[in-house]
Amino acid sequence: MNKFLIMVAQTYKNRVKSKSFLITTIVTVALIFALSNLQSIIETFSDVDEEKKVAVVTDNEGWFQSLDQVVSMNDNLTLEKYDGSLEEAQTAVEEGDFQSVVEVEQGEEGLPEATYYANKIANTGESDPVRQALQQVKVQYVTEQANVDPAIIQQMNTPVTFELVALEESAKTAEELNQTRGLVYVMLFFLYFSVIMYGQMISTEVATEKSSRVMEILVSSVSPVSQMFAKIFGIALLGLTQFAILILAGYLGIQQSKTLGDGSMLEFFGFNDINPGTIIYAVVFFILGYLLYATLAATLGSLVSRLEDAQQLLAPMIMLIVAGFLIAMFGLGVPDSTFITVSSYFPFFTPLIMFLRVGMLEIPIWEVALSIGILIGSILLLALIGARVYRGGVLMYGKSTSLKDLKTALQLSKKEK
């Protein structure tokens, strides 16, 4: 037991001090702070407070007055009627006197038509307010020509009131779903990338030790099974350490965003009112999902002795997690569908899809318990099989990129006994 703990600690220390872990953690923490304060960052580096002047070239004074009246609601945009020619207005734009120039003419049907000129037209945020204002002027003009009451047009354009009400008492409200959907979406991405990253860590570490022949020394002092689970638990501690750091960074970022009064991004991702139960389920399914895929990764990694071979042999495992992730993305829109319900009980999909269902729906506790039980049972079964394969696989050298080598590894494990 003492040797096992030493190997767990050694695996953890080697990885937590590695440059890849430090760089990944620092970059991710910086990204979390950036996303939680994105609106403030955008406003800091943008010219949102700068007033933009747009020249209007038109012969119809009424159209200009109506257009100016609509655009005046935009605090950062002002219109100015230009009395010179269009060419002179374009020159003024190039010299920086105006942000842009709009030529408003009468079309074939007597309706206003416009052409927008600017030094650059890539930023649609500058032209869209003018386009929308002109659309309102056009509607107003057509309404007046047809002698239609403007109030009727306003009623027609007013969005219909459409409220979602759940009849089941346990069902979540539309507001609760909107708050949860963003959080579940972010957590699914985190679970997806974490399982892939830590699984590859284990397989590459086993392959690296075999390629350097360190495994021959380890096998003579510690049983292969102890080595396998030492790596799994050592990197599990690494994952929990990184998970805790990121949760702390997310919490601090949210608090800072609230202090600055920037809640737009938090509301978009549903982080304003986080349900602690969702975080607990995320941790539980993260740990169980990691153990499942980590055991599989260690088993597959023991069959190869070169890093390039390890990447190829991990392809089936990557396909499983990718399939689970894609199904979870589909389930965000229909979390109560039969397909999603059935998929949530398939062990390799459970960490993602059952977490999705728990976050989006109010499901009976026995369903969650059943899925966790199936997941734990699958982990134990895979651990028993993986231990036998690992015991023989660490003794295999040379090129090995086929799952057929599982049979060879099992035969070597019997001899090793």
368-414 tens-digit pLDDT: 999 999 999 998 888 887 777 766 655 555 555 555 555 565 555 55
pLDDT of amino acid 202: 76
Domain ranges of the chain: 50-157, 173-416
Is residue 86 within 8 A of residue 57, CB to CB? The reply is yes
Give pLDDT tens digits for 279-296. Answer: 788 888 888 888 888 888
Query: What Rg, from alpha-carbon coordinates, does the chain have?
Result: 31
Cα distances from 174 to residues 170, 178, 256, in angstroms, run 13, 6, 27
The whole-angstrom separation of Cα 199 and Cα 232 is 9
Number of Cβ within 10 Å of residue 114's Cβ equals: 22
The whole-angstrom separation of Cα 225 and Cα 394 is 10
Instruction: Find, among 364, 185, 360, 329, the residue nearest to 268 by Cα.
Output: 185
Instruction: Find, among 108, 112, 104, the residue nearest to 135 by Cα.
Output: 112
The whole-angstrom separation of Cα 283 and Cα 346 is 19
The whole-angstrom separation of Cα 82 and Cα 100 is 11
Q: Is 193 helix (H, G, I), strand (E, B) or coil?
A: helix
CA 22 to chain centre: 21
Instruction: Find, among 230, 284, 299, the residue nearest to 12 by Cα.
Output: 230
Mean pLDDT of the residues in the chain: 75
Give pLDDT tens digits for 193-205. Answer: 777 777 777 777 7
**Helix or strand holding residue 391 (H, E):** helix 365-393
Number of Cβ within 10 Å of residue 408's Cβ equals: 17
Give the CB-side neighbour count of residue 295, counting CA atoms within 13 A. 23
Residue type, 174: A
Residue type, 266: L
Is residue 39 within 8 A of residue 262, CB to CB? The reply is yes
Average confidence (pLDDT) over 35-61: 70
154, two tokens: 């306003």
- Which of 12-16, 237-241, 345-349 shows the highest mean pLDDT? 345-349
Sign of CA dihedral 366, 367, 368, 374: positive
What is the second-level CATH architecture of the domain 50-157? Answer: 3-Layer(aba) Sandwich (3.40)
Check whether 323 has a pLDDT greater than 80. yes
* pTM of this prediction exceeds 0.85: no
